[in-house]
């Protein structure tokens, strides 16, 4: 890496971590044309695993108002959410199937090999966005981060942004307008439904269910 490219990359990382929202194209333009492709790859690699900056309230409001963010939020809510998209991208980058990840995950979590299929079903639900990430144990995120070479904080941040994206959709608005008793009742019903879906055929709840439904 040339001194100039190394300096530009370092400055971008510093600006990102400071919550300054640096423009990728501006930084790429600072290096010689023959190095721009390599710098773009390095910036992409950084942004894939970079922690979410500590944005000010004003910066967050500006981000939420941008058309690109609104479109991305709507797309994420319609698919697997921010976490689902991130997990799928990291898994595909590693050349793994959901079954492959589950097989490795049971070892990391100290589960039995015969529990891999159920673990794979939970992973599929996370990618699809049909499992509330707030119910997933931190142990699972730690293990996934190790297997997929991602920071636990990034996975948990994506989980939080998934909830944020869901809250931003019109369909979720009535939940926030409901009174406290109604919301609590709905929450209990949803938990019961999620538990039932998690154990098809009347399977008894086990360690896998606790890890993916028991909360952090």
The DSSP result for 101-131, as a single string, is: HHHHHHHHTT--GGGHHHHHHHHHHHHHT-S
71 & 174 share domain: yes
pLDDT tens, 48-103?
Answer: 666 667 677 787 777 667 775 566 556 555 555 678 888 888 999 889 999 999 99
Q: How far apart, in whole angstroms, are the C-alpha atoms of residue 161 and residue 148?
A: 19
The answer as to whether 60 is a domain residue is no
73 & 178 share domain: yes
167 & 75 share domain: yes
What pLDDT sits at residue 118?
94
Q: Directed axis angle between helix 152-168 and helix 67-78, to 10°?
A: 90
Q: How far apart, in whole angstroms, are the C-alpha atoms of residue 163 and residue 210?
A: 20
Q: How far apart, in whole angstroms, are the C-alpha atoms of residue 115 and residue 107?
A: 10
Low-confidence ranges of the chain (pLDDT < 70): 1-2, 48-52, 54, 63-64, 68-81, 161-204, 215-216
123 & 182 share domain: yes
The answer as to whether 129 is a domain residue is yes
CA distances, 168 to each of 58, 66, 163, 164 (Å): 18, 13, 9, 6
What pLDDT sits at residue 64?
67
Question: Nearest Cα to 144, choosing from 193, 88, 184?
Answer: 88
Structure tokens belonging to residue 109? 């979590």
Backbone φ/ψ region at 179: left (φ over 0), alpha (ψ -120 to 50), beta: beta
The answer as to whether 55 is a domain residue is no
**Per-residue three-class SS string for 41-104:** HHHHHHHHHCCCCCCCHHHHHHHHHCHHHHHHHHHHHHCCHHHHHHHHHHHHHCCCCHHHHHHH
User: Vertex 141, ends 202 and 24: CA angle to 5°?
Assistant: 135
The answer as to whether 116 is a domain residue is yes
* Number of structural domains the chain divides into: 2
Question: Nearest Cα to 28, choosing from 19, 38, 16?
Answer: 38
85 & 159 share domain: yes
170 & 133 share domain: yes
What pLDDT sits at residue 165?
47
108 & 206 share domain: yes
Q: How far apart, in whole angstroms, are the C-alpha atoms of residue 67 and residue 202?
A: 45
* Residue listed under structure tokens 């044309």: 33
The answer as to whether 102 is a domain residue is yes
The domain of 206 spans 66-213
28 & 91 share domain: no
């Amino acid at each position: 890496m040339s001194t100039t490219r190394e300096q530009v990359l370092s400055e971008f990382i510093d600006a990102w971590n400071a919550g300054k929202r640096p423009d990728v194209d501006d930084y790429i333009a600072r290096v010689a044309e023959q190095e721009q492709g390599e710098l773009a790859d390095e910036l992409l690699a950084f942004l894939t695993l970079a922690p979410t900056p500590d944005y000010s309230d004003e910066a967050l409001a500006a981000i939420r108002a941008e058309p690109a963010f609104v479109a991305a939020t709507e797309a994420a809510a319609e698919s697997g959410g921010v976490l689902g998209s991130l997990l799928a991208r990291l898994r595909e980058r590693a050349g793994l199937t959901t079954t492959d990840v589950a097989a490795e995950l049971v070892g990391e979590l100290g589960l039995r090999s015969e529990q891999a299929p159920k673990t794979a079903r939970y992973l599929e639900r996370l990618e699809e966005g049909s499992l509330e990430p707030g119910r997933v144990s931190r142990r699972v995120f730690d293990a996934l981060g190790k297997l997929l070479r991602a920071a636990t904080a990034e996975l948990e941040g994506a989980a939080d942004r998934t909830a944020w994206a869901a809250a931003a959709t019109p369909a979720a608005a009535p939940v926030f307008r409901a009174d406290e008793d109604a919301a609590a009742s709905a929450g209990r019903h949803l938990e019961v439904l999620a538990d039932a879906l998690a154990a098809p055929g009347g399977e008894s709840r086990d360690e896998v269910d606790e890890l993916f439904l028991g909360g952090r």
